[in-house]
Amino acid sequence: MGFPNNFLWGGSISAAQIEGAWNEGGKSPVAVDYCTAGSTTGMREIWYLDKDGQRAHQRWEAVGVLPQGAKYQLFDDLHYTNHVASDFYHHYKEDIALMAEMGYTTFNTSISWARIYPYGIKGGINQEGVDFYRNVFEECRKYGMDPVITLYKYDEPVSLNEQYGGWTNRKMIDEFVEFARVCFSEYKDLVNKWMTFNEINIIMPGDDTPKDIAQRNLIYLHHQLVAAAKATIVAHEMDANLKVGAMICGNMAYPLTPDPKDAFARYKKFQDFFCYSADTQVRGEYPSFAQRVWKEWDIDLNISVEDKAILKAGKADFLGFSYYASGVVTTHTTDENDITGGNVLGTVKNPYLEANAWGWQIDPLGFKHFLHIINDRYQVPLFDVENGIGLIEKEDEDGICHDPARIDYHRRHIQAMKEAVEEGVNLFGYTTWGCIDLVSAGTGQMDKKYGFIYVDMDDQGHGDLHRSRKDSFYWYKKVIASNGEDLD
């Protein structure tokens, strides 16, 4: 049995986290260009001038908007990890060659909107940006990779946020759809699998979200869902061979106790965090429980007949998702010490699982469980876009980064995924997150390594950016060559 012969194997990265060259090639700044690095215990921060012209900073948020009256500002005494990142912009040929050496049959990255339309539609297309991605995708094709490309990963040009105040303004829908149209049209000969918004659900309000922020995020999310559907319609009209997927941040959690209240709280979290967005994108309409969500947050989205028709007509062709770790939900009071980290959301500790330095709880069986849940619910082809583990790593004296913990993590997750596929889950590909070391999205660190390819760069900007093959590089090469059979 095992994986089907045409199963796609590869790795995933994203423009803002890997490219660097933040102000080269006609690119305009994006919000993370103003962010400094956090640590194992602290998230990254964005720095700016507040409405009184005073230097200020706050935890970075994927919505990208600053407080009222604030202005994005760089400060000379701060180090911004995204400015150079892994410098893929200048190393892409070398990096793609290394990926090809591992045997990749696919590759996922995102296109920086700020390279294509640095100042929005009014500012016109930046040909240098268009050429850059053509070169990248041609390089992939040269080695026989079938790239799956993401359009948006929390990196709209800040010029658009300044013009429109962010995604609460419907004008962002038109801006995005035009950006998407240019990408489909420029690259349709090289790329036929696309994803609209990366982890569109991560701004979904949770228990602690203040009401005004929750209301803002629900409007923001509605506009992105409509934009995604419109872009999907544009792609299908342009070329019936283009497949456009959704990409949702995975959510796998357990109730802490058998208390039915815990079990229901867990289910509700899954509905709100995962299904609210995934149902809308895959089924073409908000799920019935969305009424309950809107009531809880005291908001009426006033969804027009036109928006409903767009959502219906622009359904996703496949469901992409990320899965890193699982969580725990409870309605019982928890001590602060019982809280641990997780992708986007902190969670309650699971006594049965180990965690990495950031507290993300490693759970391969949870991965299999999650694959079954979403396969049963959505009945569309699934694509695992992100799966990986953040570790602190350095090259050893022999010049090699020995990373048994990474191999162990992927071995167990691929084994779990294989079992799920053998049990009928319709999964067509797997890309490991951060196949080459890059800047962490949550903490902005370069020290948080995810790759099979080591990049010599740390949180303070020390490093010469040389690349080297980790032990996991050779291990993954063997996995791909054997189509997932040889996991030793």
Residue 441 is a binding residue for ligand BG6 (CB under 6 A) = yes
Q: Which of residues 224-283 bind ligand BG6 (CB under 6 A)?
A: 249
**Binding residue for ligand BG6, selected from 442, 452, 472, 475, defined by CB under 6 A:** 442
Active site residue 199: yes
Share of the chain residues as helix, strand and coil, in percent rounded to the nearest 5? 40, 15, 45
Q: Determine which one of 19, 45, 139, 199 is catalytic.
A: 199
Binding-site size for ligand BG6 (CB under 6 A) equals: 15
Side chain identity, residue 294: W
Min separation Cβ 439 and ligand BG6, Å? 8
**Pairing assessment for the beta strands 467-469 and 453-455 based on DSSP bridges:** antiparallel
What is the spatial distance between Cα 294 and Cα 301, in angstroms, rounded to a whole number? Answer: 8
Name the token pair of 192. Answer: 């036929």
Residue 326 is a binding residue for ligand BG6 (CB under 6 A) = no
Min separation Cβ 350 and ligand BG6, Å? 19
Residue 390 is a binding residue for ligand BG6 (CB under 6 A) = yes
Here's the x/- map for ligand BG6, 328-367, by CB under 6 A: it reads as ---------------x------------------------
- Taking the CA atoms of 8, 11, 17 and 21 in sequence, report the sign of the dihedral they define: negative
Residue 448 is a binding residue for ligand BG6 (CB under 6 A) = yes
What is the spatial distance between Cα 105 and Cα 429, in angstroms, rounded to a whole number? Answer: 9
Tokens 């496949």 sit on residue: 318
- Taking the CA atoms of 339, 200, 112 and 7 in sequence, report the sign of the dihedral they define: positive
**Binding residue for ligand BG6, selected from 19, 33, 175, 199, defined by CB under 6 A:** 199
**Binding residue for ligand BG6, selected from 86, 232, 322, 347, defined by CB under 6 A:** 322
Which residue from 282, 25, 248 is spatially nearest to 129, judged by alpha carbons?
25
**Pairing assessment for the beta strands 71-72 and 106-110 based on DSSP bridges:** unpaired
Residue 386 is a binding residue for ligand BG6 (CB under 6 A) = yes
DSSP per residue over 279-302, as a string?
HHHHHSS--TTHHHHHHHTT----
Which residue from 471, 477, 475, 453 is spatially nearest to 91, judged by alpha carbons?
453
Min separation Cβ 48 and ligand BG6, Å? 21
Residue 433 is a binding residue for ligand BG6 (CB under 6 A) = yes
Cβ distance to ligand BG6 smaller for residue 99 or 441: 441
Residue range at the interface with ligand BG6 (CB under 6 A); choices 160-168, 325-333, 401-409, 437-445: 437-445
Q: Give the 3-state secondary structure of residue 196.
A: strand
Residue 156 is a binding residue for ligand BG6 (CB under 6 A) = no
What is the spatial distance between Cα 280 and Cα 284, in angstroms, rounded to a whole number? Answer: 5
CA dist 377 → 88, 271, 364, 368, 381 (Å):
38, 12, 20, 14, 12
Q: Determine which one of 386, 393, 395, 419 is catalytic.
A: 386
Residue 449 is a binding residue for ligand BG6 (CB under 6 A) = no
Residue range at the interface with ligand BG6 (CB under 6 A); choices 181-189, 236-244, 363-371, 440-448: 440-448
Active site residue 386: yes
**Binding residue for ligand BG6, selected from 109, 150, 215, 440, defined by CB under 6 A:** 440
Min separation Cβ 121 and ligand BG6, Å? 26
What are the residues binding ligand BG6 (CB under 6 A)?
14, 17, 198-199, 249, 322, 343, 386, 390, 433, 440-443, 448
Residues that are catalytic: 199, 386
